[in-house]
Amino acid sequence: MSTFEKFNFKTMDEIKSKISELGVNISLSEDLSPLAKPVKIGNVIAPNSMAILPMEGCDSESDGTPSELVRRRYSRFAAGGAGLLWFEACAVVNEGRANPRQMAITKGNVGEFAKLIKTADLSAKEYNGSDHRPVKVLQLTHSGRYSRPKGEAAPIVPQHDPLLDPKVGLDANSPVVTDEYLDALTEKYVQAAHLAREAGFDGVDIKSCHRYLLSELLASHTRKGKYGGSFENRTRFLLNTIKAVRKEVGDDFIIACRFNVFDAHPYPYGFGVDKEDCWKPDLTEPLKLVKLLAENGINLLSNSAGNPYYRFPQVTRPFDSPIIGGETPNEHPLESVARLFDFTRQIQKTAGHVPVVGNGYSWLRQFIPNAGAANLSDGSCSLVGLGRQAFAYPDAPRDIFTKGRMEPKKCCITCSKCTQIMRDHGRTGCVVRDSKVYLPLFKEARQNAMQNK
Ligand SMILES: Cc1cc2nc3c(=O)[nH]c(=O)nc-3n(C[C@H](O)[C@H](O)[C@H](O)COP(=O)(O)O)c2cc1C
Ligand code: SF4
């Protein structure tokens, strides 16, 4: 591990020299044409190889209906010209919402989701040509340990965890979620997928990352019964749910899975980790899972890693500045970026023809297109995903396609202020590049957090 440094590169030569000094596996290509290549996802074609990753705004109406801010966000994402829009976490049951403003799709509001899709499609066409139709996938979630449907922690956990339980005020003797609850939950995913198709989405993601319920289930080594212990049991819920959703939606609907390949959390509570050293990835099980997902007809994958609520958030999103009180990582951000790239590379190699969306690009700012094009051209991923960069610079893909570059002054500076708003339980977006809307919301959330301390 090398010393942490903030981004400070003006030219490609400067960043290349740092990459070679650190010896990390990041390539940069001058030829950006791979980014414009269409990608087949299931039976649908994404018009190019750029994707917007799921980015939660915590700003829906109290019943989960998309609000004005949600419509604005997806209108901007769609106008930006990416080939795939991966819509943010959307709860399948009220008790599994991460906050009282998390999106939730229900029979009562499915029409509003249809309007959201329509708005996005119109925006995409207006700015990128009448033939441009992005693929749209909705991320379905249950927040598990991090559920806060009424604004107070109301954790639903598959196993106890001595490191994480105290963080959510959980008593070590409180009950864990029952097998019966999980059996019934599969049907909620089926219903939500049905509604997503009715609204006009091209697919759904059975979200299994960031240590929410399905992610923690993958790591539930200490859980008893059919959903815990062995690899077969820990992956049972995810695979059963994928099969049940497929039965409902048929072959023409995309089923995606964004999952944690590495929790950076100690065994027996972490997934994808070395049993002796949780800082060392062991991808034996994650790669076994990828094979099973492919055999079960998954159409799209995205790897993520880490637990954004615990230590080491750089494992999920490499940054320059942590949230207030957060630790400065003891590694260079390029090492954090390279780790995520390496995970995607390994997942893509194992997934074969199933496209994998890469992530962890935002820290690279204006060099994203160069890194993305290099990863696409050597088969390290099938799509290049933008997370925070999409908040900051939603029209980055269009700038890449029309101007051949991203402008440094429009880039995300990985300052973690959007994450800070989330931790303060506010409505989030880019405080720096979209400051007219989000600076006041940042201040409001900070003030509320200080008052509630
Ligand atoms: C404010 C915020 C909201 C996020 N919301 C989601 C989400 O709803 N679902 C998800 O899978 N990941 C979510 N992420 C993670 C991002 O999709 C992405 O994996 C991460 O930020 C790393 O990519 P980047 O370097 O391009 O930002 C969120 C991240 C941030 C900072
Ligand atoms: S607030 Fe804006 S600049 Fe800062 S990390 Fe978030 S998206 Fe990037």
Residue-wise pLDDT tens digits, 402-420: 999 999 999 999 999 999 9
Mean per-residue pLDDT of the chain: 97
Domains of the chain as residue ranges with CATH: 12-415 (3.20.20.70)
pLDDT tier at 309, thresholds 50, 70, 90:
confident
DSSP-assigned states of every residue in 111-147: HHHHHHHHHHHHHHHHHH-TT---EEEEEEE--GGG-
Cβ atoms < 10 Å from Cβ of 99: 21
* Residue 353: DSSP 8-state: T
Q: Amino acid identity of 226?
A: K
What pLDDT does residue 299 have? 98
Please provide the size of the chain in residues. 453
Mutate to test the pocket of ligand 1, among 140, 206, 388, 434 (most ligand atoms within 8 A of CB): 388
Instruction: Report residue 226: phi and psi, to 5°.
Output: -75, -10
Mutate to test the pocket of ligand 2, among 391, 393, 406 (most ligand atoms within 8 A of CB): 391
DSSP-assigned states of every residue in 184-251: HHHHHHHHHHHHHHHHT-SEEEE-B-TTSHHHHHHT-TT--STTSSSHHHHTHHHHHHHHHHHHHH-T
pLDDT tier at 42, thresholds 50, 70, 90:
very high
Q: Which residues of 276-337 form beta strands (DSSP E)?
A: 300-305
Whether 43 has a pLDDT exceeding 80, the answer reads: yes
Query: Which ligand lies nearest to the CA atom of residue 70 in the structure?
Result: 1
Query: Which ligand lies nearest to the CA atom of residue 212 in the structure?
Result: 1
Tens-digit pLDDT profile for residues 345-357: 999 999 999 999 9
Tens-digit pLDDT profile for residues 137-189: 999 999 999 999 999 999 999 999 999 999 999 998 999 999 999 999 999 99
What pLDDT does residue 385 have? 98
3-state secondary structure of 192: helix
Write out residues with Cβ below 6 Å of ligand 1: 53-56, 88-89, 139, 209, 258, 304, 316-317, 359-362, 386-389, 418-419, 422, 428
**CA 173–ligand 2 middle distance (angstroms):** 39
Quote the percentage of the chain above a pLDDT of 70: 100
- Strand 135-141, strand 84-91: pairing: parallel
Whether 311 has a pLDDT exceeding 90, the answer reads: no
**Which atom belonging to ligand 1 lies closest to the Cα atom of 390?**
26
pLDDT tier at 453, thresholds 50, 70, 90:
confident
Tens-digit pLDDT profile for residues 190-214: 999 999 999 999 999 999 999 999 9
Which residues partner with 254 through β-bridges? 203
Residue 256: left (phi > 0), alpha (psi -120 to 50), or beta?
Answer: beta
Tell me the pTM. Answer: 0.98
Tens-digit pLDDT profile for residues 51-98: 999 999 999 999 999 999 999 999 999 999 999 999 999 999 999 999
Write out residues with Cβ below 6 Å of ligand 2: 388, 391-392, 412-418, 430-433
Q: Are residues 134 and 83 in contact, defined by beta-carbon separation less than 8 angstroms?
A: yes
